[in-house]
Amino acid sequence: MERLKVNLCGIGIDNPVIPASGTFGFGYEFAQLYDINILGTFSFKGTTKDPRFGNHTPRIAECTAGMINAVGLQNPGVDSVIKDELPKLKEVFHKPVMANISGFSVDDYAYTCEKLDKQEQVGWLEVNISCPNVHGGGMSFGTDPASAAEVTRAVKAVTSKPVIIKLSPNVTDIAAIAKACEEAGADGISLINTLLGMRIDLKTKRPVIANKMGGFSGPAIFPVALRMVYQAANAVKIPVIGMGGISSAEDVIEMMLAGATAVQVGAANLVDPFACKKIIGDLPRVMDKYSIKNLKDIIGGALNG
């Protein structure tokens, strides 16, 4: 449907709805439930240079209007993703896919991005800078403008496809981080990643998850995500992908008014595997309700309000 189309970093997509990394696997599992080609695209499971087993279990904790996870970037490593996962994906998804990349050093990011940049199926590289910098004392790359810029420059030097930097919300000035990435050459930014949270089991009197703390996501974080998207979109001229607690077509519209060109749906996929399909199907109704002719016309509509 023409009225749902948007342009994301020079690539046209049929609608702005994108399942978020870590909530949609490599796509083919969901393809058994519905035709995933109705999606704008999706961001596949976070991929690192080497295979990772992930954190000890339990890794998931439920909480009011959300969940906490500490999976620990479990993935088979970039070589296996290229050899095994992408060929299976190609059988069921016939659009450019978004590759999500994590790393623990600048060299890690550059290595993995360079490899995935060469893959025909990959349309965008989404670089998750919420990972701990092993050479910088464990502080996340995404909490310091200089570190965020360093990763951005390193990845841009070895790639030709659009680079989207995924930002951490665990900072005091999201606009400064976004601007540093833009100035270093980023083609877009996505935000927010999960907030840091925890739960304690009243019976055992110990943290519920083995990692003690983890990423808090779900509808409860939507207002925080919306605020940060608004601030980032005000600070940069490159496209912004908004995410954090989106679970309805109304949420999509609100996030786009805050400045998002596209949105990612995360925790909702774990509650209802048909969440993205339902949101896309409901968008025309909500657009009609609020007299919106084309989605691309409302991007950033609230920025100057």
For residue 137, the model assigns a pLDDT of 59
Quick one: pLDDT band at residue 305, thresholds 50, 70, 90?
A: low
Are residues 166 and 191 in contact, defined by beta-carbon separation less than 8 angstroms?
A: yes
What's the pTM?
A: 0.96
Report d(CA 196, CA 70) in Å as an integer: 10
Q: Choosing from 113, 131, 181, 276, which is the catalytic residue? A: 131
Are residues 185 and 151 in contact, defined by beta-carbon separation less than 8 angstroms?
A: no
242 Cβ contact list (under 8 Å, min separation 6):
190, 191, 225, 226, 229, 255, 256, 258, 259, 260, 262, 263, 264
Quick one: pLDDT band at residue 179, thresholds 50, 70, 90?
A: very high
Quick one: pLDDT band at residue 132, thresholds 50, 70, 90?
A: low
275: amino acid identity, one letter: A
pLDDT tens digits, one per residue of 248-289 = 999 999 999 999 999 999 999 999 999 999 999 999 999 999
**Structure tokens given for 144:** 């310091």
222: amino acid identity, one letter: F
Domains, the chain, in order of start with CATH, read 2-298 (3.20.20.70)
Strands 200-201 and 206-207: antiparallel
Are residues 234 and 303 in contact, defined by beta-carbon separation less than 8 angstroms?
A: yes
Q: Report the percentage of the chain scoring pLDDT > 70.
A: 97
Strands 240-243 and 262-265: parallel
Which residues on neighbouring strands pair with residue 188, listed in sequence order?
164
For residue 113, the model assigns a pLDDT of 98
Are residues 123 and 162 in contact, defined by beta-carbon separation less than 8 angstroms?
A: yes
For residue 134, the model assigns a pLDDT of 59
For residue 1, the model assigns a pLDDT of 86
Judge whether residue 138 has pLDDT over 60: no
Judge whether residue 158 has pLDDT over 80: yes
Quick one: pLDDT band at residue 130, thresholds 50, 70, 90?
A: confident
Are residues 66 and 219 in contact, defined by beta-carbon separation less than 8 angstroms?
A: yes
For residue 131, the model assigns a pLDDT of 73
Better-predicted residue by pLDDT, 59 or 139: 59
Phi, psi (degrees; rounded to nearest 5) at 304: -105, 15
131 is catalytic: yes
